[in-house]
């Protein structure tokens, strides 16, 4: 909203008030403080998660493609995504942002975006220490889930955030998981650009409600093969 500086060299960016706090608090603590000081439970719906992913992708596209020079955020994570009163996501904390001097810097942001997608889908932190001290990394876990084609739908359902219940279209969840898998590819050259990501999410947001209507009419899992939209669609 504005910028302020003083004679001591201190510089401040002024943001709109993020009434709902940061995305990590919403995803991992399940409650927010109301204006009356009480705690209220928060469970993001499928449409809210999908819209948040599109909000973040649109923000990154502005930085990567519409800024001159291109800007790499370099610290994209759920704690740096701020939510307004309508749960619209805004990218915050630009302390590590720098002009992008190489395409690799932009692809690092894409990887971080993929990690956020995994957390939005699973409701879990991307890196967790399990019993026995084993460190689980979500971007490696999703590769195993996606690669097993005959059990892909079943495995994704088991992996999804249980707080969503069955209130999401499985086709859209599979597409979003496939896109997260592409964004977190080990080789930066294999990761999609932000334009392709925004395009895919625009398609998903338009078709997700229709997919959910179809899936909600079925009382059991369909046995037919699920078609996954390519995570990179040329424009």
Active site positions, annotated: 75
Which stretches of the chain are DSSP H helices? 23-28, 46-61, 103-122, 138-147, 152-159, 170-183, 194-216
Pull the structure tokens for residue 104: 């690799």
Beta bridge partners of 3: 13
Closest CA to 201 of 66, 61, 94, 92: 61
Separation between Cα atoms, residue 174 and residue 156, nearest integer Å: 7
DSSP element (H, E) containing 21: none
Closest CA to 220 of 170, 148, 162: 170
H and E: helices and strands count for the chain: 7, 10
């Amino acid at each position: 909203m504005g910028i302020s500086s003083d004679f001591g060299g201190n510089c401040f960016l002024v943001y709109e008030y993020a009434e709902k706090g940061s995305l990590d608090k919403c995803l991992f603590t399940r409650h927010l403080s109301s204006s009356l000081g009480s705690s209220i439970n928060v469970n993001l719906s499928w449409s809210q998660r999908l819209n948040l992913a599109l909000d973040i992708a649109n923000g990154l596209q502005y930085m990567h493609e519409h800024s001159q020079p291109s800007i790499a955020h370099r610290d994209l994570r759920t704690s740096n995504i701020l939510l307004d009163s309508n749960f619209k996501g805004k990218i915050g904390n630009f302390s590590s942002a720098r002009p992008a001097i190489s395409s690799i810097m932009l692809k690092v942001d894409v990887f971080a975006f993929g990690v956020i997608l995994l957390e939005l889908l699973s409701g879990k932190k991307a890196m967790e220490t399990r019993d026995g001290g084993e460190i689980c990394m979500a971007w490696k876990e999703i590769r195993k889930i996606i690669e097993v084609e005959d059990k892909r739908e079943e495995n994704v359902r088991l992996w999804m955030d249980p707080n969503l219940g069955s209130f999401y279209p499985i086709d859209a969840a599979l597409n979003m998981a496939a896109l997260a898998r592409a964004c977190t590819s080990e080789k930066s050259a294999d990761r999609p650009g932000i334009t392709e990501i925004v395009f895919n999410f625009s398609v998903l947001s338009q078709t997700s409600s229709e997919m959910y209507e179809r899936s909600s009419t079925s009382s059991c899992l369909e046995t037919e093969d699920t078609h996954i939209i390519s995570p990179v669609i040329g424009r």
